[in-house]
Structure 1
Amino acid sequence: MEPAAFFRPQPLASPEPRSRAPGKDSEAGAGAGARESERGSPGADPLPDPARLIRDPLSGRTYYRGRLLGKGGFARCYEATDTSSGHTYAVKVIPQSRVAKPHQREKILQEIALHRSLHHRHIVRFSHHFEDEGSIYIFLEYCSRKSLAHIWKARHILLEPEVRYYLRQVIAGLRYLHQRGVLHRDLKLGNFFITDNMELKLGDFGLAARLEPQDQRKKTICGTPNYLAPEVLLRQGHGPESDVWSLGCVMYTLLCGSPPFETTDLKETYRCIKQVRYTLPTYLSVCARHLLAAILRPVPQDRPSLEEILQHDFFTKGYTPAQLPPSSCTTVPDLTPPSPAQSFFTKVTKSLFGRKKKSKLAVQEQDNLSRLVSDLVLMSICPQNSSKEPRQAQKEADVPPSLAETAPEEGSPRSLAAMGSSCEGSEECLTAAAVMESTLCALRNCLAFMPPAEQNPAPLASSEHLLWVSKWVDYSNKYGFGYQLSSRQVAVLFNDGTHMALSSNRKNVHYNPTSTKHFCFPMEAVPQQLQRQLGVLRYFASYMDQNLMKGGDLPSMDETESPAPLLLQWFKTDQALLLLFSDGTVQVNFYVDHTKLILSGWEPLLITFVARDRRALTYQAPHLQRLGCSPELRVRLRFVLGLLRQHSGT
């Protein structure tokens, strides 16, 4: 990792034009461009791309293949939607060419048979499978918040209550497997999937196997290097104790920020595992240290069972939240445990009066929003003509919402066809991890061969279409992260992962319920269910306009219906702010002197340096690599390289 010493600004006085709302300070995929459609005339709606339709040759059911969720050695996993019911799955697609040999096909069929037999709350649900001439398709439960690996990449270190929350669910699923004589053999963060309501599901049974007697166990070394048990490396076979070892490595990674035996050299990692050589940070609680030491023992029989782990003081004497907020995927949650008196009062109240029900209004509001999003998504996949005429919506009030009041504004309902145009993202959408990886690679190559120089080469002609964040507000302790682009478009990445933007002419609202689904509404036709988010968005816009100085906005221009790139993820350090966008752009704002670096393009990588006077100069990375650059620019590039390495985990 590049040391932070490459960039040593003076002690921090105040961040970028104090980009915070008044009050306390506190994740993937990209949206596609808007697609207009005229409702009311037959055949006006665009049909889905036939190349992205999957058809079951036996039942005739069709599925719309959406964004790429992940890929492995044999298969790729996509989001898939049943075009008749609108139900969303995760579909594992295995090309027939990858299972041409009999033993390869047998392995896939064994995985299907094993996974189909599993039914547990904390196991990814198997739905069905079929195949055609080109591929085998395995349809699984869709987990919208991806995996624990994505949360770890955004957070690196989790709180002990969070770790207990996740581990309890992992152990529940793992205990079910072991009771059925199944070994997972590949426990790691990427195989713990997270649903929309923050429930953990254990998945990926490609390496799973039936438990055999000690003398008949397979001696194959399989799994992820950082999580392999010593007996597996010593070819003594894999047993339930080996899964327990991997569980200990997972616990260590979540609490400490990296796996216990990770080194830069694989042979050295294996040596550390065999010798059980690792260190326990001093900031860990005594209970956490004791449990890790008990699990990570060289002799399998000396390790505690899953039941004994749950009875350890780490679990019995520590607070475990009943539910985690979705915002904990990217930011540290407030997990203050309830007081004993409050807990006692709650129990007594429930015993006397039963569970407190949600108000009908709150339940109806949530149901309406769910129905709205589902209907809009279905409309973009299975267009249907609507003969209903939209009712006239009331004009929005001109009074900007205050900090204390962001209640929904009044408005009459409109038919779905009139509320906005929608579009689906493409499977090539970039994730935050992909943005970091690609930029990291290009920047590393640029700096590795750059000769010393005293000044920068001639810049390119400035691009009027280059967008950057000119103002920002971190209010993630309550709402989310707000920002204004140089095009004057204002947007908010909410804590629940949704995204809403206000066009520069303030006539349209762009809404992304997920990173790959986009809806555009005229300002006067924003659905009632989205009025609260709109109120927060308008508050951010008003606050930045009134309290933050201009940050180099572009001249006013006519805005098309295509939305600006989405903010995928953001990170704050003591020295800078890192922003990752869905079009691959990476922006770093340096607090101390208000300079910025914007990396975009990739082929070639374009490097834009926004100086203190807001003057922006753009260079091609290959030119800097060949001719060198000024020390002022070089030190910032090295700092950004180190920042990307730190947050990508490489």
Structure 2
Amino acid sequence: MNNPLYTGMPPAPTLPTTRRHPFSNAVNHALPRPPPQTKAQLPEQGDDKGKAKASEPPLPRQNTKAVPPSPPQVIVDKSRSTKYQRIGLLGEGGFARVYEVVDNKHQSRLACKVVTKASLKTKKAKTKLYAEIKIHRALTHPNVVQFLDCFEDDDNVYMTIALCPNGSLMDLLRRRRRFTEPEARVFMVQLLGACHYMHTHQVIHRDLKLGNLLLDAHMNVKVGDFGLAALIEHPGERKKTICGTPNYIAPEVLFDTANGHSFEVDIWSTGVILYTLLIGQAPFQTKEVQSIYNRIRDNQYEFPEHRACSSAAKQLIQAILTRNPSERPTMHDILDHDWFQQGTVPASLPVSIHDGVPRFDHITRTMSQANLATLRREALLDEDQEEDVASRPTAGGKARNNATAEIQRQEQEFQQAVQPGSPISALLKSARQPLVVGNAARESPMFRRLQAVAKEKRASPLKQRADVDVDGERDLGFEEIRRTELESQKARIVAQMAAPPQTKETENAAPAPQPAPGMAKGKQKAKNEQPGVKINGYDAAAETLTAALDALKQGRVLAHPDEEDVMQEGRVFIASWVDYCNKYGMGYALTDGTVGVSFNDSTSLVLSPDKHHFDYVMSRRQGTVYVRKYYTVNDYPEELKSKVYLLKHFEGYIMSRLFGDYDYVFEDTERTKGMDFLQKFLRMKDAIVFKLSNDSLQFNFYDHSKMVLSSHGHVVTHIDKNYKLTRWRLSEVMALALQPRPADADEAKFQQRLVSKVKFCKEVLLSIRKVSEQTEGGGEAEPRRQV
């Protein structure tokens, strides 16, 4: 809503570098398009807000539409026999108003957005309302205003949402004029948490501003007003609507309508918000809207000398307000910046900040670090907190064909509901249905890596995506359905992990992959002696674990003759990883010093431990064949320039901040070609599963322990949360389960968990096999994609 009346880095992200030969820098590309017409927004989903919203602060509101009539004093939801007593006006804009109401049945105070039916005559207006309801009700996050319900009467459509009694950040800024940096850090962590969550689930807000950041009773930020929000429904989709609030609009929205925009526009808005919180006015503020747009186009802003602002804050703002959207930092980049990491961070903010500047001189550095960690966790920004959009079970959604039919049915309902003559009741009925997205919009958090990019054949290779399914550490699913029930979700997800037998093609006269130091030849022998078609790594490990655990049930220990020969397997696995898949891909470092990036377009760069040679790995035949090309950091094709540039940042960040000097890491600098690389990755309820090209399977559990299974499951490597590594023959683990319980309680607990984790791994692998067999028996297999 407009003006709610609630009462109450340098151009590219600065990442540290470590040892490496110089890499090429990426190139900034100018935005050549002239300013568009700005008299009205160009709706994409039926935007009916008319003229561009007023900038803030302090540009006066530009909206000149007639004020809508007031709803009745008692608002009645006849479908639920509920009455709401209208208390007072909270905000207004366009054809809608927001009121504080009291639910007479439960005596609870809510906010109610009222949209006049007179404003819903066109398909465009109905589509916009449908999208707002559909998207908002699907989002459940501590820093997103909770959507409660929607209903109608003869004159209006009503949407009830959670009440935020402390108004908006815009209201608070008008009282305070500006905020201290500790206060801004709290607000920004919560905003970034909400933004990260929305992007994870394919939603672009497109109107992030102080007026839409509301404050609950405990002064926590809640993102509201999804009237301009858009859903990315397939990989590579770009939105082209010119919409938003002038001071907060990203340059690509205004000046690059040919290529469109995506998630990066929200990141730009967070930079504007941070500047405004610290300086007291928006960075591009002028009296005329066209002048604001010109300043945005030219990236023209400054930090007033009379407004104190730390150098770290300036650097962060400059990094975010980068004209080239591909060079803007991710949410986690921003949170890892020194402005957050080195500054004072309070645990929370009191309501008294309405009336004065709080003091934080009692907060020590240690307290700040602990407070930041807590704030991040509360905003669901930790790695182990990725979760799906609330996808409720849909009728008939237990099978793929039924779910596909559900999508088609809902699409047909939607098309009928938004027709000019269709009753509003049909629109609300359709909008209340669970959000079911097809064509690779991706139901699980893994699909947030399929963020909008340019279509195939555009300049940057990073902006090329294939319209196929993706296996990923946080985004995995099917093109046509959202996940319905937990078990069926797991089955569908793991099915994509079960790829057919791998073959490898090489170019540039590639040698065979070299074994890690100390690896016995038994591994090669075991592989070479396999008759007929080689089963894939999942099936092989599943068979081994199943046989061992079946024997355990009979009180026996099943030992494999190859266990001695393969005890050195599993030395190379993922030691550290970082997920930037909402923009680029997954970065990781292996225990042998190899650093790789699994890009969102199904290619990988794998940097040798010597930091000079790298492999370029491409997926062929739906991920069943991998083609390698070999280059050095000084000699590679021009089309790889952007990817090498990103490899530099991933390598620097991982090796300096994440990669530890653990006992199990080593540096195999002689291995300059054919390095192991990450093929697939998958998040499940209790663990993240990685599959490497050496057929090792790695399970990272949420208690921060890890388990690595060798290529056939004969060797189990366990790393506890304190990075202590133990390596076991599978028969030794099974023997532990048959031995008397150790007297030492900690040792007994460890052994019990070790066996339990092996059982968990077996269940995951059997699920992969089961669904793979069902897929093969039911017709054409799902398209698979390496990430």
Give the TM-score band, short-chain normalised: 0.3 to 0.5
Larger radius of gyration: 2
Q: TM-score, normalised by structure 2?
A: 0.37
Higher relative contact order (CA 8 A, sep 6+): 1
Q: TM-score, normalised by structure 1?
A: 0.45
